[in-house]
Amino acid sequence: MLTKRENDILKLIVEQYIKLAKPVSSNLICKRLKCSSATVRSEMKALEEIGLLEKTHTSSGRVPSEKGYRYYVDNLMEIKKMKAEDMLKLQRIFKNQELVLSDCISKSLQLISDMTSYTTVILGSSSHDNLLKKIEVIPIDEANMTVIVVTDKGHVEHKTISLEDVSQKEIEKTVSLINNLIIGTPIDEVSTKLEFEVKPIIGKYVDQHEQIYNAFYHVFSDFTENNHVNVVGKNKFLELPEFADINKIKEIYNKLDDKETLRRITEKRATETDDGDDSSHNIEIYIGEENQIDDDVTIIKTTYKTKTDEGTIAIIGPKRMEYDRVVNMLEFIKENIEK
Amino acid sequence: MLTKRENDILKLIVEQYIKLAKPVSSNLICKRLKCSSATVRSEMKALEEIGLLEKTHTSSGRVPSEKGYRYYVDNLMEIKKMKAEDMLKLQRIFKNQELVLSDCISKSLQLISDMTSYTTVILGSSSHDNLLKKIEVIPIDEANMTVIVVTDKGHVEHKTISLEDVSQKEIEKTVSLINNLIIGTPIDEVSTKLEFEVKPIIGKYVDQHEQIYNAFYHVFSDFTENNHVNVVGKNKFLELPEFADINKIKEIYNKLDDKETLRRITEKRATETDDGDDSSHNIEIYIGEENQIDDDVTIIKTTYKTKTDEGTIAIIGPKRMEYDRVVNMLEFIKENIEK
DNA sequence: GTTTAGCACTACTAATTTATGAGTGCTAAA
DNA sequence: TTTAGCACTCATAAATTAGTAGTGCTAAAC
């Protein structure tokens, strides 16, 4: 257990480093505490020995270690309410009756990215618990038609497909067969069901069944694959001194472009102790090596769940993130989404 | 008019600079031409005097000026056929019966971005010449429903909206009114028509018309605004030495994220002479200041038009782009799209 | 009158030096 | 336990040096 003064010093160092991204000197600290720089220095040394602080070189000031950030987040951080003005802006988005929920979410995370200068990520509900509600085919011209698929929760997917030399009648027959046979099927089982239950029947009753079957099959598999991801404000990384190196940027951007990597954001960290969980509000914090994406970033995330939708929203920034602000913002957004 | 040898030298310099991004020396050139470096030097000087070449400092080799690139593109460049292997890969995309046209386009431009290391942009057809074909409403639960709008060319837009305390009946009435009144209207006139022709009528026949009207109004205006843009391979800029500076990257990325800036890519350059047009195939080339986006890039673009769709595809790279390859690829893609 | 060899000159690059200063650690006195 | 004082370290920036890849020019060679 740390002494009161050690806590104070650590807190000051973390907060100062978050602000300026420069190693923090004993002098700067001693000005805010009523003691001499020498005293602070020996305390700092102690904190370094237990691994909460680090030096960049022998005679530099101190920088928080990952363990230091973790300790700060778990024990020292006081959650910081948003400026009234910012809160208002966010509320305005959610109060705007003209916006659909999904638009509210993306707009608000866009705003958060701007307010904080960090990158935000929305990982939409994979639609795995949606049930197939309806399919519909709209003819465009002789050879083309648009297939529309709707789920019970209101997700829509569509695709324009070409079928050559297939009669309108046959298509209609197929549509009504599908509508009869697999409505109500969970969307991620549709492909299988289509193959094993519908295909044999189409084969019997519909001419040119191969072509038609293929067309529909691909529309459905598209549906299952698309779990919408939205990364907002990637450019913010370009503002941060810790990412001033073009190669570091390349590394981060490649990760942020990779669906598989992003999906990993949704995973809970499997750790011994506390799951990165910020006790109170289901906000999870993954600092540096704690996250699965990149050792130089921190990810703060939460999940939301509404009647029609669920997903994960995350904020990605440097390890010296403004934890106190970001946690508060995420809490706020989560609340607003869920009501 | 330039002499044969001047042309040869200019061509060599441009091509060499495209390859290595380093100022080209007289020595390097004289090895490939049967004359001494001194001769080359005096020729280079002449070319510099007419503004086709530039120096980076007093004793550096030469670099093509924008005018130099332009001259190269207009007079010296020989279009370079793709490697058979690359051509095959592209063809495979277009021959794949399982893919819709729009998927072919994005997949092939993804591939081109990888093959060339440049960024590609697809500016989809704004749907302005689409006609409204159908609207449909699918109830989700008591308060929510999904509105689907389809145009005659098979574009689909949808949105889940919330309406509190509005009866199903009233909504159905509205839908059938809209379907009766404005089917066949060009999509970008729908909003106006909705306001001046439909609203008054809804007002008369439908209870709670304000709420319902508003909901629909916003679905339609969304439709008009979404003209789909797709920027592929932005990260490629990070590989190019001319964009090694983080601030330059920031500048470019901000532009590539800005819809308005991107829209400008579709505009034809309004110039005195030749419109940047590569005479033969409707491939347009805009070098540096010739383009509206950024002085340090070249944009090579073309437009395509099919029965159901039209749009612009563009390739954005450094001024020392591999013009000969890119032009050929764009021609190839354009052809494939259009058939 | 082109072409070329030869040479003086320029300025980029990388390595080395120098100076400055912001920071620490340690010791001994308060 | 705290603090003043001092030696020491190392990053940063500026200045120096050396090397070299390139040019421009001139005068001779073709």
A325 and A272 housed in the same domain: yes
Answer with the one of B226, B254, B277 that is the final residue of a domain.
Answer: B226
Predicted local distance difference test score (pLDDT) of residue A272: 47
Sign of CA dihedral B268, B272, B278, B280: positive
Single-letter code of the amino acid located at B87:
M
The pLDDT assigned to A128 comes to 65
- B60, B76, B92 — which closes off a domain? B76
Q: What share of chain A is helix, strand, coil (3-state, %, to 5)?
A: 55, 20, 30
**Chain A residues inside the 8 Å CB shell of B146:** 150, 154, 156
Whole-number Å distance between alpha carbons of B219 and A100: 10
Chain A CB contacts of B212 under 8 Å are none
Using a 10 angstrom Cβ sphere, with 0-12 exposed, 13-18 middle and 19 or more buried, the burial of residue A200 is exposed
Asked if the model's pLDDT at residue B272 lies above 50, the reply is no
Q: Is A175 exposed, middle or buried (0-12, 13-18, 19+ CB in 10 A)?
A: middle
* Dihedral sign of CA atoms A178, A184, A185, A190 in order: positive
For the cut 50, the answer to whether the pLDDT of residue B88 exceeds it is yes
Domain check: are A220 and A147 in the same one? Answer: yes
Long-range Cβ contacts of A113-117 (<8 Å, 24+ apart): A113/A232, A113/A233, A113/A236, A113/A315, A114/A233, A115/A86, A115/A329, A116/A315, A116/A317, A116/A322, A116/A325, A116/A326, A116/A329, A117/A233, A117/A236, A117/A239, A117/A240, A117/A317
Is the four-CA dihedral A189, A193, A199, A201 of positive or negative sign?
Answer: negative
Given this model, what pLDDT does residue B237 score?
97
Distance in Å, residue A11 CA to nucleotide C30 C1': 30
Confidence of residue B128 (pLDDT cuts 50, 70, 90): low
| Overall domain count for chain A | 3
Find out whether B205 and B173 touch, Cβ atoms under 8 Å.
Answer: yes
- Among candidates A159, A153, A150, which has minimal Cα distance to A101? A153
How many angstroms separate the CA of residue A274 from the nearest CA in chain B?
36
**B184/B215 same-domain check:** yes
Q: B156, A148: Cβ pair inside 8 Å? A: yes
- Are B104 and B185 members of one domain? no
User: What is the spatial distance between Cα B257 and Cα B224, in angstroms, rounded to a whole number?
Assistant: 20
What are the angstrom distances between the C-alpha of A240 and each of A67, A249, A289, B154?
22, 10, 19, 44
Which of A140 and B91 is assigned the larger pLDDT? B91
What angle do helix axes B209-225 and B168-182 make, rounded to 10 degrees? 50
A167 with A205, same domain: the answer is yes
- Closest Cβ–Cβ partner in A100, A138, A218 for B161: A100
d(CA B76, CA B34): 20
Same domain, B181 and B301: no
Q: Please, is B69 exposed, middle or buried when counting C-beta atoms within 10 Å of its C-beta (0-12, 13-18, 19+)?
A: buried
B205 and B69 within one domain:
no
Selection from B211, B216, B209, B158 nearest residue B182 by Cα: B216
Residue B181 · residue B175 · CB < 8 Å: no
CA–CA gap between residue B47 and residue B5 (Å, rounded): 11
Q: Which of B146, B235, B246 sits opposite A156 (nearest CB)?
A: B146
Is A209's CB less than 7 Å from nucleic acid strand C? no
Q: Please say whether the beta carbons of B105 and B209 come within 8 A.
A: no
**A5: CB partners within 8 A, 6+ apart:** A33, A35, A43
Both B9 and B153 in one domain: the answer is no
Residue at a domain's end among B226, B242, B261? B226
- Any alpha helices (H) in chain B, and if so which ranges? 4-20, 26-32, 37-49, 66-71, 84-95, 101-116, 168-182, 190-193, 199-205, 209-225, 246-257, 259-266, 323-338
Give residue B226's pLDDT.
64
d(C-alpha A47, C-alpha A49), whole Å: 5
Q: Which of A94, A96, A97, A106 to mutate to test the interface with B (most CBs of B within 10 A)?
A: A97
Strand C, nucleotides covered by protein (CB < 7 Å): 3-6, 9-12, 21-27
Q: Looking at the structure, do residues A121 and A189 belong to the same domain, yes or no?
A: no
Bridge partner list, B158: B148
Q: What is the CATH number of the domain that holds A13?
A: 1.10.10.10
**Percentage of chain B exceeding pLDDT 70:** 94
**Domain containing residue A115: CATH number:** 3.30.450.40
Q: Longest Cα pair distance anywhere in chain A, in angstroms? A: 90
Contact B249/A244, CB-based, under 8 Å? no
Find the nucleotide nearest B59 (Cα to C1′).
D23
The closest alpha carbon to B230, from B128, B106, B127, belongs to B106
Identity of residue B159: K
Query: How high is the pLDDT of residue B189?
Result: 85
CA nearest neighbour of B150 among A217, A150, A213, A101: A150
Q: For the whole model, what pTM was predicted?
A: 0.87
Report the residue of A101, A103, A125, A140 to disrupt the B interface, i.e. the one with the largest count of B CBs within 10 Å: A140
One-letter amino acid for residue A245 of the chain: D
Q: What is the DSSP letter of B81?
A: P
Say if residues B294 and B252 touch (Cβ distance below 8 Å).
Answer: yes
Q: Which structure tokens are listed for B60?
A: 């550096």
- Chain B residue numbers touching A146 (CB-CB < 8 A): 150, 154, 156
Q: Which residues of A touch B (CB under 8 A)?
A: 97-98, 100-102, 133-134, 136, 138, 140-141, 144-146, 148, 150, 152-154, 156, 158-162, 214, 218, 234-235, 238-239, 244-246, 249-250, 253-254, 257, 307-308
Digitized pLDDT (tens) for each residue of chain A, 339 residues in all: 899 999 999 999 999 999 999 999 999 999 999 899 999 999 999 999 999 999 999 999 999 999 999 999 999 999 999 999 999 999 999 998 777 788 899 999 999 999 999 999 999 866 667 888 888 888 887 778 888 888 887 888 888 887 777 888 888 888 888 888 888 888 878 888 888 888 888 888 877 788 778 878 877 777 776 668 899 999 999 999 999 999 999 999 999 999 999 999 988 765 545 555 555 568 999 999 999 999 999 999 999 988 778 899 999 999 999 999 999 999 999 999 998
User: What is the residue range of B192's domain?
Assistant: 128-226
Task: Spell out the residues 6+ positions from residue A167 whose beta carbon is closer than 8 angstroms to its own.
Answer: A207, A208
Q: Determine the Cα–Cα distance for residues A234 and A120; give it in Å rounded to an integer.
A: 8
A26 closest-nt by C1' vs CA: C23
The one-letter amino acid at A164? E
B146 φ/ψ angles, rounded to the nearest 5 degrees = -110, 130
Task: Write out the two tokens for B137.
Answer: 């409403």
Q: Strand A297-305's sheet: what is its strand order?
A: A229-232, A119-124, A310-318, A297-305, A283-287, A277-278
Q: Which two tokens stand for residue B261?
A: 């800036």
Distance CA A178, CA B210 (A): 38
Spatial contact of A8 and A43, defined as CB atoms under 8 Å apart: no
pLDDT confidence tier of residue B35, bands split at 50, 70 and 90:
very high
B323: nearest Cα among B107, B139, B94, B72: B72
Do A183 and A326 lie in one domain? The reply is: no
CB A315 within 8 A of CB A303: no
Domain match, B222 and B108 both: no
How far is residue B5's CA from residue B121's CA, in Å, rounded to a whole number? Answer: 38
Phi first, then psi: give them for residue B246, nearest 5 degrees: -60, -30
Q: Does residue B324 share a domain with residue B293?
A: yes
